[in-house]
Amino acid sequence: MSMIEKPLVSSTAHGTPNASNSWQTPRWLFDKLSQHFEFALDAAATSDNTLCNIHLTPEEDALTYDWAEAVCGVNEIFMNFGGEVGRSVWLNPPYGRDVGKWVAKARHESEKGLTVVVLIFARTDTRWWHDHVMRAEGIYFIKGRLKFLENGQVRHPAPAPSCVIVFRGDSEGRTPKLGTVVRDQPFVR
């Protein structure tokens, strides 16, 4: 790494000044998952890094926004043109100390009838992991370290292992299905 490049770490998780906590999902991963979930909404994006036509920006404060209402509005627009989109939400939240709030929000929104697919670090040592992720429909660990994008450029490998969490419907008493996501293999739920 040259002295000019900044490392790919979360400023809040590792105390690194001026590091970004907003990393774009690798396109291969999003495309693989999109084939199964038909995402209608990107719940945490900017116009520069969104992977869906409809997205919520930091200014719209996705943590207080009703995602189900947003997805219903998207479906209504598409149906007027003879099309249909899924009822799935994509979430690659800002990485940092608030990620637990994003995971809780994803679980809450799924209980309104949405499927919410979340890309996060596999932080099995956190309270939010046990309170929310362990009630998901599925947990899919990603083989190897992801290389996120920053300003459209592939960055260094992530500082921690990643996983995809699938929240769908009521989660009380559920044991999540476990699986793996591998780049060159089909995604199997």
pLDDT in tens, 4-30: 333 333 333 333 334 555 678 899 999
Locate tokens 């100390």: which residue? 97
pLDDT at 22: 62
* In a domain? residue 143: yes
Q: What single string gives the DSSP state of each residue in 44-68?
A: S--TTT-SSSSB--GGG-TTTS-HH
Q: What is the mean pLDDT of residues 42-61?
A: 88
* In a domain? residue 1: no
Q: Is 92:9 a contact under the CB 8 Å cutoff?
A: no
Burial class (CB in 10 A: 0-12, 13-18, 19+), 15: exposed
* In a domain? residue 3: no
Strands 149-150 and 177-181: unpaired
Q: Which residue has the higher pLDDT, 117 or 157?
A: 117
Rounded to a whole number of angstroms, the CA Rg of the chain reads: 16
Instruction: Measure the CA–CA gap between 79 and 62, rounded to whole angstroms.
Output: 24
Q: What is the mean pLDDT of residues 132-159?
A: 89
Write the CATH number for 143: 3.40.50
* In a domain? residue 189: no
* In a domain? residue 35: yes
| CB burial readout 96-134, b (16+ within 10 A) else e | beebbebbebbbebbeeebbbbbbbbbbeeeebbeebbe
pLDDT at 131: 94
pLDDT band at 172 (very low <50, low <70, confident <90, very high): confident
The pair of three-digit structure tokens given for residue 15, joined into one six-digit string: 């105390």
Phi-psi bin for 173: left (phi > 0), alpha (psi -120 to 50), beta? left
Q: How many domains does the chain have?
A: 1
pLDDT at 86: 66
Q: What is the mean pLDDT of residues 28-38?
A: 92
When the pLDDT of each residue in the chain is averaged and rounded to a whole number, the result is 81
pLDDT band at 182 (very low <50, low <70, confident <90, very high): very high
Q: Which residue has the higher pLDDT, 21 or 45?
A: 45
* In a domain? residue 123: yes
pLDDT at 150: 79
Instruction: Measure the CA–CA gap between 189 and 181, rounded to whole angstroms.
Output: 10
Which residue from 66, 68, 70 is spatially nearest to 55, judged by alpha carbons? 70
Per residue in 68-110, pLDDT (tens digit) is 888 876 544 444 444 445 679 999 999 888 999 999 999 999 9
Determine the structural domain holding residue 123 and report its residue range: 11-181
Task: Tell me which DSSP letter residue 55 carries.
Answer: B
pLDDT at 187: 83
* In a domain? residue 112: yes
* In a domain? residue 105: yes
Measured in residues, the chain has a length of 189
